[in-house]
Amino acid sequence: MDHFLYRNGILHAEDVPVTQIAEVVGTPFYCYSTATLTRHFRLFDEALEGMDHLVCYAMKANSNQAVLRLMAGLGAGVDVVSGGEYARAIAAGFPGERIVFSGVGKTREEMRAALTGGIRQFNLESEPEMLALNAVALSLGKVAPVTIRVNPDVDARTHEKISTGKSENKFGIPIARAREVFAEAAALPGLEVVGIDVHIGSQLTDLDPFALAYRRVAELTRVLRDDGHDIRRLDLGGGLGIPYERSNSAPPLPVEYGAMVRQVLGDLDCEIEIEPGRLIAGNAGILVSEVIYLKSGEGRDFLILDAAMNDLIRPAMYGAYHDIMPVIEPAAGAEQAAYDIVGPVCESGDTFAKQRLMPQVAPGDLVAFRSAGAYGAVMASEYNSRPLIPEVLVQGDQFAVIRARPTFDEMINRDTIPEWL
Ligand code: LLP
């Protein structure tokens, strides 16, 4: 459920007509709902009720400071994967003890910053990284809390570009080598091994791959405890999918995911961490765009929008489906048309949908891409010198621009011309 609904014939974000925001900020823009973000965080938090747990929002999905401040205020933890994300987490008010640091390529500088600023744990992914963190921690006179990410060799049955738990993926250490690697880590004085980490992929629409991976983690927990390790924390990653296509059957709900976690891992007496990103932010956001032209091609009509692949790359990059709806509600029984929906960028890949059947629209009309709150704005670029588009947050009947549209000068003046030119 989200808070983008037609009311009085106009798409609303909570209690604000989307048309009103468009008048103030211009198009295209991203628009997020505070109520939906809040609701989605709480669904996960409640799903794990009764277990010692922390929901660590994966900010890679949407790292706007306002979204992060909201999450921090709700009591969330946060999963970061770079020095930049760590700095964002601190700036938004997350205390160090609620920040977990993931990623295969943490630099020594990033490790130093997090150890100095405060960190709940590093999720380590390789032996070289273990040695690096050990050295950095010792140089600072600190002991770094760590989990080690295992690769359980499970097929997440999702898009290959966002599948991470197969042995051919770059993530984690092979689960078969876990005893050896945990023993090595335990011998390093700069590290304190607190648990196991796993993340098998994103946009999973089925609980089975999760359950399979978590059963392997449960087994490993017992083995490692027998080896003498104090395994007290399990980081289960993120990955629960969202319904992008309303016609498809909906993925499992957080409450079902939580029940599965309880069933598979509940008797281990471990603190549970999860790192959802997409499910919290995805359906909490839309991308609003204006139709510039309707162009009739050979056997097809192109709907040319003012948003492009640089603003929302998911369709071009993963062939992802986003529902696209008119902001003005079509009359009941209104005619549908099939469009190729494209942006103005100069490549054919700048296509949001092919032969998409939707209510007829005309130049000047606004359309909304649904499910655009996660991996939308964060993956945007200024390709074709199109400035990053603004982000707006709605709460009830109020809205605020939470990232302004840069002017052309602001964009251009980030470049500098050497004096010898
Ligand atoms: N934890 C780790 C270690 C991750 O790598 C990810 C996502 C998450 C948590 C959050 O997963 P989520 O709950 O959002 O599925 N750009 C792609 C998605 C990439 C996901 C990368 N890792 C997309 O637009 O579909």
- Write the residue with the smallest CA distance to atom 6 of ligand 1: 238
Return the number of other C-beta atoms located less than 10 Å from residue 75's C-beta.
12
**Distance (Å, whole) CA 30 – CA 168:** 36
Contact criterion met (CB below 8 Å) for 269 and 221: no
Could you tell which of 59, 202, 206 is best to mutate to test the pocket of ligand 1, judged by most ligand atoms within 8 Å of the CB?
202
Provide, for the chain, the percentages of residues in helix, strand and coil under a 3-state DSSP scheme, each rounded to the nearest 5.
35, 25, 40
Contact criterion met (CB below 8 Å) for 157 and 204: yes
Angle (CA) 138 142 146, round 5°: 95
Return the number of other C-beta atoms located less than 10 Å from residue 263's C-beta.
12
Radius of gyration (C-alpha) of the chain in whole angstroms: 23
**Cis-peptide, bond into residue 344, ω within 30° of zero:** no
Report pTM.
0.97
**Distance (Å, whole) CA 356 – CA 336:** 10
Contact criterion met (CB below 8 Å) for 239 and 156: yes
ipTM for the whole complex:
0.99
Name the helix (H) or strand (E) containing 101.
strand 99-101
Residue type, 362: A
- What are the structure tokens assigned to 242, written together? 């969202």
Q: Write the CA distances from 229 to 17, 119, 178, integer angstroms.
A: 56, 21, 12
What pLDDT sits at residue 1?
Answer: 64
pLDDT by residue for the chain (421 residues), tens only, comes to 689 999 999 999 999 999 999 999 999 999 999 999 999 999 999 999 999 999 999 999 999 999 999 999 999 999 999 999 999 999 999 999 999 999 999 999 999 999 999 999 999 999 999 999 999 999 999 999 999 999 999 988 888 887 788 777 888 999 999 999 999 999 999 999 999 999 999 999 999 999 999 999 999 999 999 999 999 999 999 999 999 998 778 999 999 999 999 999 999 999 999 999 999 999 999 999 999 999 998 889 999 999 999 999 999 999 999 999 999 999 999 999 999 999 999 999 999 999 999 999 999 999 999 999 999 999 999 999 999 999 999 999 999 999 999 999 999 999 999 999 9
Residue-range domains of the chain with CATH = 4-31+282-412 (2.40.37.10), 34-281 (3.20.20.10)
Q: What residues does ligand 1 touch, defined as CB less than 6 Å away?
A: 58, 60-61, 79, 102, 162, 199, 202-203, 237-239, 275-279, 314, 318, 375
What pLDDT sits at residue 246?
Answer: 81
346 as an active site residue: the answer is yes
